Copies of this chain bind each other. A is one copy, B any other.
Amino acid sequence: MKVIKDSVHDHIHVDGVARDLLDTPALQRLRRIKQLGTVAFVYPSANHTRFEHSLGVYHLACQALEHLEVEGKRAKRVEAAALLHDVGHGPFSHNLESLTYRRTGRYHDDVYALLAAGEVGEVLREHDLEPEAIADLVAGEGRFGQLVSGELDVDRMDYLVRDAHHTGVPYGTIDPGRLLRELAFVEGELVLEAGNVQTAESLLVARALMNPAVYSHSVARISKAMLRRAAERLLDAPEADVDAVTLQRMDDADLLVALRSCEATADLSRRLDERTLFKRAVWAEIDAVPGGVIEADHEKIRSFEREIADRAGVDDEDVILDVPGRPSMTESTSRVMVSGEIRRLEQQSPLVEALRAAQYSQWRLGVYSPERLRDRVGQAAAEVLGLDIDGALVSEVRNGDGLETTLDQFVD
């Protein structure tokens, strides 16, 4: 058995199949992929990796299994899936998902293929585990899949605490021990036992507070949009000779260096390296945005960008239009036992609707450009997108008074 010191869970005991999986290249690669991608531009301490997160998820899975009295092969499968659940992640974790999805049809690398191949596949088979069954769990299939990837999964329990610890933001502090102790299987569903509506709410609230302060902080969004733009150009640059599948398999270092080396991306890369980020030329509440923009697909977005650039008389590459998807709230369907029946949290807690409304009210469309072009780009964007914004103010940050709720560090 290995004992690994973790800054969040202290000692993590790694045994059996997990012990052997630890040394596979697929897992070791996660040491070089930051958990929160460009969030480190906002919180300089947020350099934790998918590797330590994977260990944490494995650790909590073991505790859940012990509590649920699951043993034998079934338990081994969940342990393997917990440890492996992020092996498909590309560089900078979620930052490039929408890009790789457009190009490969998959947000992540093909987990089924990854788990069957190479050393991971060998280890799994040596331990008499079928890679496909593990991949099913990673995909959230079946009742044990809910433990790995569902509304009450150990993934979420680890990342909330870990991201809070490493950013220094105190809002993600849930109580994993309490959550794990209250898990049960009822009618094939993973639920929290009776008396735990508030326990379920605490998960929801933690993410609702972490979202604007960390995950969707405007500077994290801007730098992510720049990174995505750069990666897209890299894929399109013939001299770089990088396709989307190759991209997905890179680690953070590979991507950083590839962007530096390719002429088409050198400028954006330099901006990211030196943190000379684009600024917000427009930052608009979604209510103020005509429907067509919200629904636009990637091609449409690109054509908006070109039109804005055109009208502003600037280069194409100096305009980024960032339209985040509709806010979601997975935790709203967490299941809790109430009056002897399984209820979805949203049926039970008035907080769900309130937090959903809060999320909508924080939903912002952004147009970003180099600082010196902010005014022109802002003005042009307002016209092109049909934004109802007072012309004179368009290039100012539209933080909507009380709606930009994030920490202000590094914001300007």
Q: Contact residues of A with B, CB < 8 Å?
A: 2-8, 10-11, 23-25, 28-29, 31-32, 40, 43-45, 47-49, 51-52, 55, 165-171, 173-175, 177-178, 181, 194-199, 201-202, 205, 209, 212-213, 252-254, 256-257, 260, 273-276, 336-340, 343, 348-351, 353-355, 357-358, 361, 399, 401-410
Residues on B with C-beta less than 8 A from A357 are 350
Q: Which residue of B lies closest to A40 (CB)?
A: B31
**A360 nearest CB across to chain B (Å):** 9
Asked if A409 and B196 make an inter-chain contact with CB atoms under 8 angstroms apart, the answer reads no
Contact flag A274-B401 (CB < 8 Å), given A2-B410, A44-B52, A213-B198: no
Give the number of copies in the complex: 4
Asked if A350 and B343 make an inter-chain contact with CB atoms under 8 angstroms apart, the answer reads no
* Given A205-B209, A253-B257, 4 more pairs with CB closer than 8 A: A44-B49, A198-B406, A343-B402, A349-B358
Residues on B with C-beta less than 8 A from A181 are 3, 11
CA distance A11 to B170 in the complex (A): 12
Q: Could you say which of B44, B257, B350, B402 contacts A51, with CB atoms under 8 Å apart?
A: B44
Asked if A275 and B55 make an inter-chain contact with CB atoms under 8 angstroms apart, the answer reads no
**A189 nearest CB across to chain B (Å):** 15
Asked if B355 and A351 make an inter-chain contact with CB atoms under 8 angstroms apart, the answer reads yes
Contact flag A6-B402 (CB < 8 Å), given A23-B276, A47-B48, A55-B44: no
Residues on B with C-beta less than 8 A from A198 are 209, 212-213, 405-406
Residues on B with C-beta less than 8 A from A252 are 253
Residues on B with C-beta less than 8 A from A406 are 195, 198
CA distance A397 to B10 in the complex (A): 27
Asked if A339 and B257 make an inter-chain contact with CB atoms under 8 angstroms apart, the answer reads no
Q: Could you say which of B29, B45, B47, B350 contacts A6, with CB atoms under 8 Å apart?
A: B45
